């Protein structure tokens, strides 16, 4: 039984995947972030060179939720979890995105209020994983915000939370998508605004860009053609770009540093 947040779930899942070549386990997440990470069977541990570089696909036999446990989260941890919720709305639930725009939830609103929209966000991930359990194509959609986000986490020496880094990643990746003409300026601004409304950072820290590039070089999604990014095309639709080059990323990083765009 993995009772706790995402670190507990990842560690317990990795042990379950490897002990005796695999034993069954149950996830019982107690944080908003873990309500996302407990689904889908990805388990792993970090190395000094980057996140999730050792891991396995090992789905739990069950995931048990008690949303009343979320009342104990500090505001910053709640906001970290909202980054993943917002990510799911951009991938596949524009209706929930609109509701979060109209009624932002920067603080825990109570278990009754959370249950319905959290179930909707989780369902987006379930639908994607059911199509592509082992991440051959469509499951990559769930990496929205994570390519840049993992690099930002690493360069910050993990002083930034996972959700905060993913929010920065979504902002930078929205800038890349808009520059390519994949995403309208209106939808780009909506994405940035809803992140801001939920207390999440929308500007990268003043890191040296070369440090971000160095961190990205060990990303599992890096090839000679460039980086593989998931880019938003609209609210509710994303696409995979396998050829994002350094200059595109540098331009988007600079715009994100310079402009709030809200």
Inter-residue contact 202 to 262 (CB < 8 Å): yes
What pLDDT is attached to residue 220? 57
Determine contact, residues 125/46, Cβ cutoff 8 Å.
no
Assess whether 53 and 165 both reside in one domain. Answer: no
Q: Nearest-CA neighbor of 211 among 255, 161, 253, 260? A: 253
Half-sphere exposure of residue 48, counting CA atoms within 13 Å on the CB side?
0
- Rounded to 5 degrees, what are φ and ψ at 27? -100, 135
50 has which bridge partners?
47
109 lies in the same domain as 201: yes
Tens digits of residue pLDDT in 46-62:
888 777 889 999 999 99
94 and 177, same domain (yes or no) = yes
Number of domains into which the chain is organized: 2
Backbone torsions φ then ψ of 184, nearest 5 degrees: -70, 155
Same domain, 107 and 236: yes
Q: Are residues 166 and 229 in the same domain?
A: yes
Taking 70 as the pLDDT cut, the residues of the chain under it are: 219-224, 260-262
Q: Are 253 and 152 in a shared domain?
A: yes
Last residue of a domain, one of 65, 86, 103: 65
DSSP E strands in 7-155: the ranges are 26-29, 42-47, 50-57, 62-63
Of the residues 38, 65, 92, the one at which a domain ends = 65
pLDDT value at residue 91: 98
Same domain, 172 and 193: yes
Sequence-separated (6 or more) residues with CB below 8 Å from residue 108 = 70, 71, 73, 78, 114
Looking at residue 206, what is its pLDDT?
86
Range of the domain at 175: 74-258
Rounded-to-10 torsion of CA 187, 193, 196, 198 = -80
pTM value?
0.93
- For residue 137, give the DSSP letter: S
Same structural domain, 59 and 82: no
Give the CATH number of the domain where residue 44 resides: 3.40.50.1970
Q: Are residues 208 and 254 in the same domain?
A: yes
- Return the C-alpha torsion angle 215, 88, 9, 217, nearest 10: -10
List the CATH number of the domain containing 222: 1.20.1090.10
**CA–CA separation, 230 vs 240, rounded Å?**
5
Of 181, 165, 164, 161, whose CA–CA distance to 231 is shortest? 181
Nearest to 167 by CA among 130, 192, 134: 192
Does residue 194 sit in the same domain as residue 111?
Answer: yes
Q: What residues are annotated to the active site?
A: 21, 42, 84, 125, 135, 139, 143, 146, 150, 162
27 touches 13 (CB < 8 A): yes
Domain termination residue (choose one: 65, 83, 114): 65
Q: Are residues 46 and 145 in the same domain?
A: no
In terms of domains, do 119 and 234 share one?
yes
């Amino acid at each position: 039984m993995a009772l706790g947040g995402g670190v507990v779930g990842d560690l317990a899942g990795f042990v379950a995947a490897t002990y005796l070549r695999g034993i069954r386990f149950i996830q019982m997440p107690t944080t908003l972030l873990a309500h996302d990470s407990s689904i889908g069977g990805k388990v792993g541990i970090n190395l000094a060179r980057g996140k999730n570089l050792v891991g396995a696909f090992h789905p739990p036999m069950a995931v048990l939720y008690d949303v009343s446990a979320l009342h104990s989260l500090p505001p910053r941890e709640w906001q970290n979890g909202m980054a993943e919720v917002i990510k799911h709305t951009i991938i596949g639930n524009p209706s929930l995105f609109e509701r979060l725009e109209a009624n932002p939830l920067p603080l825990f609103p109570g278990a009754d209020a959370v249950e319905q929209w959290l179930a909707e966000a989780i369902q987006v991930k379930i639908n994607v994983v059911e199509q592509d359990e082992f991440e051959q194509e469509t499951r990559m959609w769930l990496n929205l915000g994570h390519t840049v986000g993992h690099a930002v986490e690493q360069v910050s020496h993990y002083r930034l939370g996972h959700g905060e880094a993913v929010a920065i990643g979504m902002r930078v990746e929205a800038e890349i998508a808009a520059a390519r003409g994949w995403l309208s300026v209106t939808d780009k601004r909506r994405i940035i605004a809803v992140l801001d409304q939920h207390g999440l950072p929308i500007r990268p820290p003043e890191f040296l860009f070369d440090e971000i590039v160095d961190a990205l070089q060990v990303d599992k999604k890096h090839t000679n053609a460039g980086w593989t990014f998931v880019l938003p095309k609209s609210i509710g639709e994303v696409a995979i770009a396998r050829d994002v080059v350094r200059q595109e990323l540098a331009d988007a990083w600079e715009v994100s540093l310079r402009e709030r765009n809200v």
